[in-house]
Structure 1
Amino acid sequence: MKVFVIDVAKCNGCYNCQLVCKDEHVDNDWSPYAKPQPDTGHFWMKLIDIEHGSVPKVKIEYQARPCMHCDNAKCIEVAGDGSVYKRNDGLVIIDPEKATGRRDLVDSCPYGAIYWNDKLNLPQKCTGCAHLVDAGEVPRCVEACATEAIKFGEEEELKELISRAEVLQPELGVKPRVYYLNLPKFFVAGEVYDPDIDEVLEGAQVTLINNETGQSWRETTDDFGDFWIRRLNSGCYTLKIEKNGYQPYQVQDLKVDKSINIGSIALKRE
């Protein structure tokens, strides 16, 4: 069974995957898997950017979003008549003949991966470049990825990567066959300084503790007095900052439901 494994940390936002998908499918008829994709409005491989934090502590991460080719695909369930089907290799296909007029299929996908083609009166989406796979090749997005952030192959061959990966919205229970490494999490960042001399403080010990689980993270401020504590889940945390010769600083009940730039934190001398 085929799978995609996408490493978000390797993606540099070049948009090659999105562009070559358009190049492969616009004005090209790959029946029986897909009719031509329209020039505009469709992104069968869509690259989205996710912005975290606030200036000057900002990170932008990119996430490639094809069809998830789910084992329990909602589109197959809603279609109910074979107009959407799963191939033996795991790729989910909308039959361009049988699905004509089935606009209801657009809303069946919880990931928003199905688009409506007004001209052809047809729902369409990523096919995993099934026509290329049949020829022993890989999908165009995989072939064009300069950083090798997108991998495609047999589940068994990629099992080591899959063991470290996640799927989007696992609570949906649709069992996606697109796996992600290094999905964006939240961060807490800030800057520590001495207000008496108006200088940043290098080497301050920063500790963040999850109030519910007790899990802790420790970082040391760098040459610019900055600290970044990354890959956090949502929750309530306690932030502690300590440095010899200074009074400890503490914030309790720090709510993390997005990435947070604490800003400049002044440590008072003892």
Structure 2
Amino acid sequence: MKVFVIDVAKCNGCYGCQVSCKDEHCDNEWLPYAKTQPETGHFWMKMNEKVLGSVPKVKMSYVATPCMHCENAPCKEATKNGSVYTREDGLVIIDPEKAKGQKQLVDACPYGAIYWNEKLQLPQKCTGCAHLVDEGKLPRCVDACPTDAIRFGEEAELKELIGKAEVMKPELGLMPKVYYLNLPKNFVAGAVFDPIDDECLEGVKVTLTAVGQSKNYIATTDGFGDFWFKRLDAGTYALRLEKEGFYPFSMKSFEVAESVNVGDIALNKKLD
């Protein structure tokens, strides 16, 4: 069974996977697996770019997103004539002859991986470059990736990586064959300073508490007064800052639905 393993931490956002997919499929027919991909509007391998946090505590995430080649593919359920099928190696294919006119397949995909070709009246998506796989070659996106962020191969051979990975929307139970390492999670970040001396405070103990879970995360501010808590689940959190010779500071009950920059926090010095 063929699978993809995508390590988001290795991706530098070069868009090589998206561009190479276009190069392979635009103006090229690879029957019986695919007809020509339109030059615009389709991204069979799509790079989803997102800004996390706010200035100056900002990170970028880049997540390469092809068809998930689900074992329980909902597009197969939506077809009228068996136009979507799974190959023996696990790649899910939309038959470009049988699927003509079946626009309902676009809405059947919960990942938004199926596109409508208005000119051809055809639903289309990533084929896993099945025409190349048949020749013992790698999909173009995998071959083009300069950082080895996208892996493709037999499930058994990639078992160790899969054991550390996760899938998108696991709650759907679709058993996708695209696995992800280091998918972006929320962070909480900020900075601490001394308002009297007007300088950054290093060595401040920062405790982040997951409210209702009695779970604490501890960090220490660096030379710039910065602190970061990474890979957090969404939820309600509380913050406490402590440093010898300073009054403690507390921030109670704030929501983390996305990454949060709590801003610059003044820690007041105790005056004897």
Q: TM-score if structure 1 supplies the norm length?
A: 0.98
Q: How many Å separate the matches in 2 of 1:79 and 1:46?
A: 24
Q: Report the equivalent of 1:128.
A: 128
Q: How many Å separate the matches in 2 of 1:132 and 1:140?
A: 8
User: Which shifted more, 124-133 or 232-241?
Assistant: 232-241
Q: How many Å separate the matches in 2 of 1:82 and 1:214?
A: 51
User: Aligned residues, how many?
Assistant: 270
Q: Report the equivalent of 2:23.
A: 23
Report the secondary structure of 1:61's partner residue.
strand
Q: How many Å separate the matches in 2 of 1:72 and 1:216?
A: 39
Give 1:243's aligned amino acid. K
Counterparts of 1:55-66 in structure 2 under 5 Å?
A: 55-66=55-66
Q: Report the equivalent of 1:256.
A: 256
Give 1:232's aligned amino acid. L
1:213 and 2:213 correspond: yes
Q: Deviations over 1:202-238 (max 9, x none)?
A: 1111111111322221111111101111100001112
Give 2:51's aligned amino acid. E
Report the secondary structure of 1:71's partner residue.
coil
1:247 and 2:247 correspond: yes
User: Which shifted more, 79-88 or 42-51?
Assistant: 79-88
Report the secondary structure of 2:203's partner residue.
coil
User: Which shifted more, 213-222 or 230-239?
Assistant: 213-222
Q: How many Å separate the matches in 2 of 1:56 and 1:179?
A: 31
Q: Deviations over 1:175-203 (max 9, x none)?
A: 11111110111010001000111111011
Report the secondary structure of 1:17's partner residue.
helix
Q: Report the equivalent of 1:115.
A: 115
Q: How far off its partner does 1:100 sit?
A: 0.7
Q: How many Å separate the matches in 1 of 2:216 and 2:81?
A: 52
Name the Cα RMSD after superposition: 0.8
Gaps of 5+ in 2: none
Q: Report the equivalent of 2:70.
A: 70
Report the secondary structure of 2:246's partner residue.
coil
Q: How many Å separate the matches in 1 of 2:259 and 2:46?
A: 23
Q: Report the equivalent of 1:267.
A: 267
Q: How many Å separate the matches in 1 of 2:101 and 2:80?
A: 14
Report the secondary structure of 1:23's partner residue.
helix
Q: How far off its partner does 1:265 sit?
A: 0.4
Gaps of 5+ in 1: none
Q: How many Å separate the matches in 2 of 1:15 and 1:157?
A: 27
Q: How many Å separate the matches in 2 of 1:178 and 1:98?
A: 26
User: Which shifted more, 79-88 or 260-269?
Assistant: 79-88
Go from structure 1 to structure 2 and tell me whether the alpha carbon gap of 1:160 and 1:212 turns closer, same or farther (over 3 Å shift).
farther
Report the secondary structure of 1:187's partner residue.
strand
Q: Percentage identity across aligned positions?
A: 65
Report the secondary structure of 1:141's partner residue.
helix
Give 1:175's aligned amino acid. M
Give 2:234's aligned amino acid. S
Q: How far off its partner does 1:171 sit?
A: 1.1
Q: Report the equivalent of 2:79.
A: 79
Q: How many Å separate the matches in 2 of 1:3 and 1:166?
A: 13
Q: Deviations over 1:155-188 (max 9, x none)?
A: 1111111111111111111111111110111010
Q: TM-score if structure 2 supplies the norm length?
A: 0.97
Q: How many Å separate the matches in 2 of 1:154 and 1:81?
A: 30
Q: How many Å separate the matches in 2 of 1:32 and 1:206?
A: 59
Q: How far off its partner does 1:80 sit?
A: 4.5
Q: Report the equivalent of 1:49.
A: 49
Q: How far off its partner does 1:251 sit?
A: 1.3
Q: Report the equivalent of 1:187.
A: 187
